[in-house]
A and B are shown apart, each in its own frame.
Chain A
Amino acid sequence: MRTPREHFRLVVKYTPFHSRTVAANELNLWHRWRDYSVADAYFDVSLEYTALRNTCAVFDISPMTKHRITGPDALAFMNRLVTRDVAKIKPGRVGYAVWCDEQGQVVDDGTIFHLSPGVYRLCSQERQLDWLHTARLGFDVTVVEETEDVAALSLQGPTSCATLCALGLTGIETLTPFGMRTFAFGEAELLVSRTGFTGDLGYELWIDPAHAEALWDALFEAGNLYGIRPLGTHALDIARIEAGYIQAGVDFLPADHAIRADRTRSPFELDLAWLVDFSKPHFTGRRALLAEQSRGSRYRLVRLDVAGNKPATDAYVYDAKRRVVGTVTSAVWSPMSKASIALASVAMPHGAVGTPLWAEIYYQKELKWNRTNVECTVLAGPSYDPPRRKVTPAPMR
C-alpha cells in the first residue's frame, strides 16, 4: 500500500514542534534541513547563544535522521557497521560513533542509543537506509527509518538540569553523561538522554510526535524561572565549533556523496582515532584503516586559535614557508574564549600541536575588503569544555 501521492504539495514539511517554533520565531528566519524547515535564529543570535551558555536553550532536532535497528544480531550488526566497540555501549547508554566505507573513509557520524537489550537507535546527519540495508546482508536484523516517528528537542545549558527537575523529572540530576532514562510525561513516555552538540551540560528529549507540542509548552513553563530560550542553528553553530565538534558536509564530505577522488576523510584524519578499535571483531573499513595506520594518514583535522579578532571563514591555511597546506572548514568568533577559533583540514605532516600555521583571512568593513595573514596556534583540544558538562550529579545552575 503506497502512501498518498499528494505529498508533493507540501514540499517542505513541518516538524512536530512547528506551531511552537513559528510562534517563537520573531525574526521569521528559516532554512532547509532535509524534509523540514528549521529556524536560523529566533530573536537574536547573540542572545540565543548567551542563553545556551548562561541559562538554557532549546533546539528542535526532530529532522535528524533516525534509524531503529533490532533483532538477534543487532549488536553484531552494529559492531560490523561502526569503528568503535558497540559491546561497550550498555543498555541505557549512548555512544558517539563514525562508520566507514570499505576504503576506511567516513560515511557519516552520529550517536548510537542502546534503548534496551538488542534495540538500537542510530542518529545521523545523513540518510543511511540504503547503506544499512546493504550492510544487513547475512545478519538477522530489522532496520527501519524512524525519523518521522520521533520528535526531539535538545535542551542545553547550565540550567537545563534545573529546568528538567522543574518539569518533574525526579532524579534527572543523577543521570551521567551519555546516559539515558525514561520518564512518564502525561500518557506518553519521555526518553531523556544526557547528550548534545554544544559541549555544555545538556539533554536531548525524545517523544511521540503527538505529544510534542505539550512537551514544548511544559518545558518552557518549567524553564521560565531558569531563563529558557529557543535556540536557532546560527547560535548552535557557534557552540559546536567552540566544542570542537565536526559536522558532516561541513568539516568532512560523507564518503557516499563524494564524486571526486581524494575528497573524503578517514576517522584518523578527523581526529577520531579514539573511536577506532582494532581489537573488536571485524568492521567495515578495518583493513584500510590498519593500512593507513602503518602507512600514515594524508590529512589531519586541527582546532585552531587564530590570532586577532577576525573569523577565519573559508581561509587557506599556510605553513611557515607560505605554502598552502589546507583549508579552514569551520570558523567563528568564540564569545567564551574571546578568540577567533577554527577547525581546519591540513595535509600531513603539518598541524602538530604547538606548531604554527598561518591563515589568510578575507574580511570586509563597510564594503571594503581587506586581507590579513595571521598566525594560528594548533590547540590540543576544544577551546571550550566546561566542567559542568561531565559532572554528576549535574549542577543546577
Chain B
Amino acid sequence: MNKADVIVVGAGHNGLTSAAFLAKAGLKVLVLEKNPWIGGAAVSRSLHKDWIYSNCSYVCSLLRPEIFRELELGKHGLHVVPYGGGVTFTRDGDILGNYVDEEVKRREIMRYSARDGDAYLRYSRDVMRQCRLVRSLLMRTPPDPTSWRWRDLTEMRHIGREFAALGPAVLADTIRFHTMSIADYLNEYFESDVVKANLAGSGIIGTALGVQSPGTAYVLLHHYMGDVDGQMGAWGFARGGMGAVSQALASALTSFGGTIKVDAPVAQIVVRGGRVRGVALDNGDEYSAPVVISGLDPKRTFLGLLASGDLDPAIAKRARDFKIRGSSGKLNIALDGLPTFPALGKNNPLAAGDMHFLDSLERYERAYDDWKRGMWSRDPYLDLLIPSLTDPTMAPPGKHFMSVFVQYVPVKVKGQDWTDADREAFKKTVFQQISRYSPDFESLVLHAEVRTPRELEAEVGLTEGNIFQGELTFDQLLFNRPFPGFAQYRGPVKGMYMCGSGTHPGGGVMAAPGANAAREVLLDLKRGNTVPNGWSDD
C-alpha cells in the first residue's frame, strides 16, 4: 500500500491538521514521521517514570478554536485548561504579579508606579486593537500583492477594509507598531522598569532579537492574540501536555480514514515531468502521491526535501536567506516536591502561573548581548512553569513537572558545535538562575532533560532549533512568509505544498498554517472545502 492521494511529511501539529482536513474531504492521506513518536514540537513524552513532559512547546493559547471545533478535538481527547497569571521576581526579593483579577493586577502594578496601574488599561486597549487586526487574518491565505488575479485582489480588498476599519489614528499606530522594538513600545506607556520588564518577555520569546531590536513589538502581539474560551491573551495547558494536541489531531485524522506511519524519515520529494510523484524515504522505500505537503520548515523543505536539480537557484537562495536563527533552549525537570519561592509567600496562586526572573530591560538586552557573542545568556530569560500544579496528569501527586524555556541560547557555542560539556554548563547556568529565587529547587531535582538548539534540531527537526520555524519579523510575515511568491502554501513544483509554521500565520501551535494549506490543496483538487473560515471578533 504505497499509494495515497496526499502524503504529508512530518507528523507535527500542522501536518496532522492539514492531513485531518484533507482526510475529512475524502482523500486518502498518509502522514510520514521520522521519529518513533508523533507531534513534532507539540509532544508529550515520558522520560522519567510516572512523569510526562511537554518536551518542546508547553503552553496553549493560539490554537484556533475554529479548528478545535471543526475537527471535534474535544471528542478526540483535547482539553485546554487555562492557568492563572504570572510573576516577575525582582532582585531585591520582591515580585510583580500578573494576577488574574484586573483590579488586583492594577493594585500590584501600582506598587511600582501608581500611574502605570492606570496606563496598563491604555496599553491593553492598544494591544487589543492590533490583535483584532491580526486575528482577522489568521484563518486566511495571504494574498499575493503583486498579482492581478481576482482572488488576490479580493483578498487585498479584505485586508484594506480591515485596515480602514481601524480608523486613521489606530492605523497610524499599526504602521508604527510593526517596526517598533518592544522596549520602545513599552516606554510609551510605562515608567517603571520592573513593569516594563514584566511585559517584555512576550516580545522576544523564540526570537533572535533583543528588546531594543525593531520588530519585537509584533512578537509580543503574536503572544497576545490567542484566547482561551474568549479570554483574549489568556494562556492554558493542554491536559496531558502539548502532545495531547497532536494526539487529538491524530485521532481526528484516523477517524477520517487517514494513516500515520512513524519511523519513516522522508529523504526526498520525488519529482518527475515537472510535478510531484511522491516521496522516497531514507531507506529507499517510495510512496507515491500526486500531492505532497511538507510540514517541515522552509529551509528543510526547499533545501532538503527537494533535490537541488528541481529547484531554481534564485528560489534556493531565498530559502538559504530565510531567517530561522536559533535563540532558545528548554529544560524539562522532574521534581520530588514543590520548590519554594520565598518571594511569593505561602499559597500564592501565581505559583501556578508563568515565572520570570529579569526585572529590567537592561538585563534583557545584556542577555541578548551574550547570544550575539556566541554564548548562552549568563543571566538568562526564563519562562518557567509548573504545569503539574494545574494538570494532575503530568506527575504523581505531590511531585511536580517543571517546564523551563530559556533564552538566549546560541546555535553554536563561540562558533563551535555544542558539546555535552557545554550542555552541562548551560544547565548549570539555568539551575543557578532558578536557585537564586528558589533555594530548595536543586535539592528536589530527580531528572532533567536539557535541550539546546542542537537537540531541538536533531530530534524535532527544527532548523537551528527555531521554535517558530522562522523568525516572526515583518519581512517574514503574511505574504512574505516564508518568502515572496510562496506565501500561498504552494511549493515551486506542481503538487507540492507547505503547511508548517514557516508559512502564514506562523508558529505558536495555532494549527492555522495546516488548516490554510489544506484549504489550498482542496481548492486545487476541486474538492469541497472542509476547512472552516475564521470567526469574527465583532
A binds B: yes
Residues of A within 8 A of B (CB): 2-3, 5-8, 11-12, 32, 34-35, 103, 127-131, 133, 145, 256-262
Q: Count A-B contacts at CB 8 Å.
A: 68
B538 and A5 form a contact (CB under 8 A): no
B538 and A8 form a contact (CB under 8 A): no
A131 and B112 form a contact (CB under 8 A): no
Instruction: Determine the distance from Cα of A32 to Cα of B103 in the docked complex, in whole angstroms.
Output: 10
Instruction: Determine the distance from Cα of A256 to Cα of B169 in the docked complex, in whole angstroms.
Output: 13
In the bound complex, residues from chain B placing their C-beta under 8 Å from that of A130 are 115-116, 118-119, 121-122
Instruction: Determine the distance from Cα of A8 to Cα of B114 in the docked complex, in whole angstroms.
Output: 16
A5 and B111 form a contact (CB under 8 A): yes
8 Å CB contact of B128 from A5, A103, A259: A259
Where chain B touches its partner, the secondary structure class is: helix
| B505 part of interface (Cβ distance < 8 Å) | no
**Nearest CB on A from B112, distance (A):** 7
B117 and A259 form a contact (CB under 8 A): no
> Given contacts A130-B119, A259-B125, is CB(A145)–CB(B108) below 8 Å?
no
B348 and A8 form a contact (CB under 8 A): yes
A262 and B115 form a contact (CB under 8 A): no
| B166 part of interface (Cβ distance < 8 Å) | yes
Instruction: Determine the distance from Cα of A3 to Cα of B113 in the docked complex, in whole angstroms.
Output: 11
**Nearest CB on B from A108, distance (A):** 12
8 Å CB contact of B121 from A3, A11, A256: A256
18 cross-chain CB contacts under 8 A: A2-B94, A2-B112, A3-B111, A5-B97, A5-B345, A7-B104, A7-B108, A8-B349, A32-B103, A34-B103, A35-B103, A103-B169, A127-B106, A129-B115, A130-B121, A259-B129, A260-B538, A261-B170
Instruction: Determine the distance from Cα of A129 to Cα of B118 in the docked complex, in whole angstroms.
Output: 6
> Given contacts A7-B108, A145-B114, A261-B167, is CB(A127)–CB(B101) below 8 Å?
no
B165 and A261 form a contact (CB under 8 A): yes
| B335 part of interface (Cβ distance < 8 Å) | no
> Given contacts A2-B112, A261-B165, is CB(A8)–CB(B122) below 8 Å?
no
> Given contacts A34-B103, A259-B128, A261-B166, is CB(A5)–CB(B118) below 8 Å?
no
Which one of A11, A131, A259 has the highest number of Cβ atoms from chain B below 10 Å of its Cβ? A259
In the bound complex, residues from chain A placing their C-beta under 8 Å from that of B110 are 3
In the bound complex, residues from chain B placing their C-beta under 8 Å from that of A8 are 97, 99, 104, 107-108, 348-349
In the bound complex, residues from chain A placing their C-beta under 8 Å from that of B271 are none
Instruction: Determine the distance from Cα of A380 to Cα of B86 in the docked complex, in whole angstroms.
Output: 52
A258 and B115 form a contact (CB under 8 A): no
In the bound complex, residues from chain A placing their C-beta under 8 Å from that of B402 are none
8 Å CB contact of B132 from A7, A34, A259: A259
Q: Which residue of B lies closest to A144 (CB)?
A: B114
In the bound complex, residues from chain A placing their C-beta under 8 Å from that of B117 are 127, 129
| B52 part of interface (Cβ distance < 8 Å) | no
B132 and A131 form a contact (CB under 8 A): no
Instruction: Determine the distance from Cα of A7 to Cα of B110 in the docked complex, in whole angstroms.
Output: 11
In the bound complex, residues from chain A placing their C-beta under 8 Å from that of B348 are 8
Give B76-97 interface residues, CB cut-off 8 Å to A. Answer: 94-95, 97
Give B34-90 interface residues, CB cut-off 8 Å to A. Answer: none
In the bound complex, residues from chain B placing their C-beta under 8 Å from that of A103 are 169
Instruction: Determine the distance from Cα of A261 to Cα of B125 in the docked complex, in whole angstroms.
Output: 12
A11 and B165 form a contact (CB under 8 A): no
In the bound complex, residues from chain B placing their C-beta under 8 Å from that of A11 are 101, 103-104
> Given contacts A2-B94, A11-B101, is CB(A131)–CB(B118) below 8 Å?
yes
A5 and B122 form a contact (CB under 8 A): no
In the bound complex, residues from chain B placing their C-beta under 8 Å from that of A32 are 103
In the bound complex, residues from chain B placing their C-beta under 8 Å from that of A129 are 114-115, 117-118
In the bound complex, residues from chain A placing their C-beta under 8 Å from that of B121 are 127, 130, 256-257
Which one of A5, A32, A257 has the highest number of Cβ atoms from chain B below 10 Å of its Cβ? A5
Instruction: Determine the distance from Cα of A272 to Cα of B129 in the docked complex, in whole angstroms.
Output: 28
Instruction: Determine the distance from Cα of A261 to Cα of B128 in the docked complex, in whole angstroms.
Output: 12
Instruction: Determine the distance from Cα of A313 to Cα of B110 in the docked complex, in whole angstroms.
Output: 38
Instruction: Determine the distance from Cα of A5 to Cα of B344 in the docked complex, in whole angstroms.
Output: 9
Q: Which residue of B lies closest to A32 (CB)?
A: B103
B166 and A256 form a contact (CB under 8 A): no
A257 and B345 form a contact (CB under 8 A): no
Q: Which residue of A lies closest to B171 (CB)?
A: A261
Pairs of residues from A and B, 5 with the lowest C-beta to C-beta distance, nearest first = A130-B118, A261-B167, A129-B118, A130-B119, A2-B111
**Nearest CB on B from A137, distance (A):** 12
Q: Which residue of B lies closest to A256 (CB)?
A: B122
